[in-house]
Chains A and B, each alone.
Chain A
């Protein structure tokens, strides 16, 4: 690619603009070595995001957490594109939160939730690549005494055509590193039409060590003199230890110590984790379970039902026209109440964290979606200044939101290590502990009432959501005035600029929220509140379509006069899913659409249902418009993954409460999808709309449950309003 106008602009801005800010950082070439980069040939830093080795290896720094979603590869593509390097020379390294703190957030926010990974960092990481490229080219221009504009660069080889000279990034790196990095804002990024690496379905960069057992996760950490801890918290959330007798446990082989976890539980520290876990059972503990021990699904559901009826304490989230009057005067009235249960994340790697607390410093080894939050949690628990806290990042074996903003397991590991200063202690939760001490997807119910006129047109819709609030759980002292919590209403926003817009235009619409909290911890589960709200909305829309006598797709189209991007996905899913083609005998179809995290999705599901009510899903066609598709192969993988996660939840997922505790303890009673149940998934990615960067990890799960339920309700000729489907009679 020819060096373009953008380089001139940068050059002139450098000359006239004086000191550059932003990327002017100390060049610590040894940072990469400290971070464990295997090759010892010193990598040289080109601004915050790129390091170049003399052998032309380009190391891209990754600030976001890679937990399977492929963001590491996508982010590297963004940087490499602007760097114009050879993709086969690209490697990555993780940035640590303490380094980010020290360098005043040079790498932006590291928190990886909300499908942020690419959409909220694409601009600054691309500028990081462009800055490095500019420095390397400037070094070549200086060396050859030629104008920058006469240089070309391709795959990390810089050429001056006129004098037939060429050199490599590896050779230029040292000289380039002595230059002042440009102001990233002054750089002009490539036009999408010129992209060579962004948009390619490239294989992941992080696969090799996942195939031979050499990849180390947090659970695999091994340190000199390390001990292991197994934990048990009161099975009733909020309960406390009343009394504890550890005399028998302390006599067991390898057991070193039994320690309290604040007032809510205890840990056994032993030479191996297995010995610690065995000794847990030998500790005689009596719990003070508190009033919450009276709570059950029945009491929590009664609380939610009250929220559906109440006339006070409501948050009026959306109101246009007068829905209640319009429905009152309607020719046909439709009503339905929906339900979705608590859900556990059940990441494959159970929660764990290794901690070492010394007199004036603390260190942890952990897989987290929130390295900065974890660092804060360490400091808060240990009382050690954050500058003396060190976090070693591991890629989590699954996150799905559980390793997000809540660092409960980091706090716990530090509290254990505090009770044995100077000894690193690896805390691992058993699957049972992981399943019964989650941050569950919030429980909710949703009542819909709608009216149709004589021409089967919608005249009004009233939505009453009643359920637990994540925000309230996380901020117990927050002033939630008038129960105003927009987060619980994800996917139902009116604003067309919202990244969570409800893509229907309804003449009279009232959406209310009744906050109904329980003692059960709630948190962010893949898609957060979107999968529940999309299930409710899309299945009730299906009920309305049926009542109107219209085809499901036609009916939705009639409600989407201005939502052209979403309409295009609905049409695409219908077309590619053969919506208008006749079905084979015994087969049924369902469709759903939803917009979230700035990505538009729609899916068609084809299934059969036998006389016993057994469901066999044959085919899912999912169409999405996420704006720029950085890596279509990884998007496809995320679509397949979100379908597996979504189907597991819709078919079997529930965490029920009895005597204040979660009943489900492991995969035998928290069933998830296996390979034999995996339907054929066809992913259709719509070519990008200019200027739009949507999320990928979460949005497509929104359409899974409603498309499935709509197919089943089409098969049965009646609505299904409650999840999971295993509790429904499907005959």
Chain B
């Protein structure tokens, strides 16, 4: 086991973990950022969603060995400094979460979608949002993604996102 450099939310970390350790557990246990959740361990539920070099990824099945020190990892804690990301603002306004456990992953998935597609259709949302929520917040998630898109794309909010 050798120590490894990781860049998470713009900060550098050095971690000691076996090569096959999933990135999720490195983030949670070695780095100590617990906003990224464990739900299934087999990339089925999306609770562990992060952005890897800007793209959505399920961290529970990414072995540490596949991460390069130049890779940029963003977790829910790094999405914005002050909860100002349009997705976070929309989530608050629509009052999306119930128990909240899956919501880090949902927000990471939604923000990745909006980065790819500023004005997603319902079908785009259907295809992109495959994270599981057992509380059943899906209807509000859909509504909040449309709102986040409006917040991002309205002229008054150009700076956001």
Query: Which A residues have a C-beta under 8 Å from some C-beta of B?
Result: 67-70, 203-204, 206-208, 210-217, 219-220, 222, 228, 253, 272-275, 278, 346-350, 395-400, 428, 430-431, 633, 637, 640-645, 666-668, 672-676, 678, 680-681
Contacts and interface: CB of A to CB of B under 8 A. Distances in A.
Contact of B107 (A67, A211, A645): A211
Contacts of A204: 95, 97
B32 A222 contact: yes
Given A348-B39, A675-B125, A643 B136 contact: yes
Contact of A210 (B42, B97, B127): B97
Interface residues of B, number: 61
A348 B137 contact: no
Main secondary structure of the interface of A (DSSP, over half): loop
A58 B100 CA distance: 24
Interface string B28-58: 1110111111111110110100000000000
B127 A676 contact: yes
Given A208-B83, A640-B136, A667-B40, 17 more contacts: A67-B99, A68-B135, A348-B39, A348-B45, A349-B101, A350-B38, A398-B101, A398-B135, A431-B39, A431-B42, A640-B137, A640-B138, A644-B136, A667-B39, A667-B44, A675-B138, A678-B138
Contact of B75 (A68, A213, A346, A668): A213
B59 interface: no
Contacts of B77: 212-214
Nearest to A639: B136
A640 B30 contact: no
A216 B44 CA distance: 23
Contacts of B29: 228, 272-274
A681 B140 CA distance: 11
B39 A207 contact: no
Contact of B97 (A211, A217, A222, A350): A211
A704 to B, nearest CB: 11
Contacts of A641: 98, 135-137
Given A213-B36, A272-B29, A668 B44 contact: yes
B40 A666 contact: yes
A229 to B, nearest CB: 13
Nearest to B101: A397
B34 A216 contact: yes
A674 B142 CA distance: 12
Nearest to B1: A253
B83 A211 contact: yes
B129 A676 contact: yes
A348 B44 contact: no
A430 to B, nearest CB: 6
B79 A348 contact: no
B135 to A, nearest CB: 5
B71 interface: no
A216 B77 CA distance: 13
28 contacts: A68-B100, A203-B92, A203-B95, A207-B91, A213-B33, A214-B77, A219-B38, A222-B34, A253-B18, A274-B21, A346-B134, A347-B99, A348-B99, A348-B134, A349-B101, A350-B39, A397-B100, A397-B102, A398-B101, A633-B95, A637-B98, A640-B136, A640-B137, A667-B132, A668-B42, A673-B136, A675-B142, A676-B127
B140 A640 contact: yes
A418 to B, nearest CB: 24
A680 B143 CA distance: 11
A346 to B, nearest CB: 6
Contacts of B134: 346-348, 398, 400, 644-645, 672
Contacts, number: 180
Interface string B15-26: 001101110010
Contacts of B20: 278
B58 to A, nearest CB: 12
A158 B76 CA distance: 43
B132 A672 contact: yes
A316 B9 CA distance: 64
Contacts of B33: 213
B104 interface: yes
Contacts of A206: 100
B5 to A, nearest CB: 19
B98 to A, nearest CB: 3
Contacts of A213: 33-36, 75-77, 104
A378 B76 CA distance: 34
Contacts of B139: 640, 678, 680-681
Most buried by B among A67, A217, A633, A641: A641
B79 A212 contact: yes
Top 10 closest A-B pairs, CB basis?
A213-B35, A644-B136, A397-B101, A68-B99, A210-B100, A68-B98, A641-B136, A676-B126, A213-B76, A220-B34
Contacts of B1: 253
Nearest to A212: B83
B149 interface: no
Contacts of B73: none
B99 A274 contact: no
B160 to A, nearest CB: 15
A49 B134 CA distance: 31
B55 to A, nearest CB: 19
B76 to A, nearest CB: 4
A256 to B, nearest CB: 15
B14 to A, nearest CB: 16
Contacts of A210: 97, 100, 103
Contacts of B95: 203-204, 207, 633, 637
A168 to B, nearest CB: 28
B146 to A, nearest CB: 13
A715 to B, nearest CB: 23
A667 B45 contact: yes
B141 interface: yes
Contacts of B140: 637, 640
A120 to B, nearest CB: 21
A212 B88 contact: yes
B121 interface: no
A16 B39 CA distance: 59
B84 to A, nearest CB: 10
Contact of B99 (A211, A214, A349): A349
A667 B58 CA distance: 15
Nearest to A252: B18
Contact of A273 (B18, B25, B102, B133): B25
B130 interface: yes
Nearest to B108: A213
B98 A675 contact: no
Nearest to A203: B95
B41 A272 contact: no
Contacts of A346: 134
Contacts of B127: 676
A203 B32 CA distance: 31
Given A67-B99, A430-B41, A272 B34 contact: no
Given A222-B34, A640-B136, A348 B101 contact: yes
B132 A348 contact: yes
B99 A398 contact: yes
Looking at B101, B131, B133, the one whose CB has the most chain A CB atoms below 10 A away is B101
Contacts of B97: 68, 204, 207, 210-211
B1 to A, nearest CB: 6
Taking each of B77, B130, B139, which has the highest tally of chain A beta carbons within 10 Å of its own beta carbon?
B139
Contacts of A676: 126-127, 129-130
A70 B140 CA distance: 15
Nearest to B22: A274
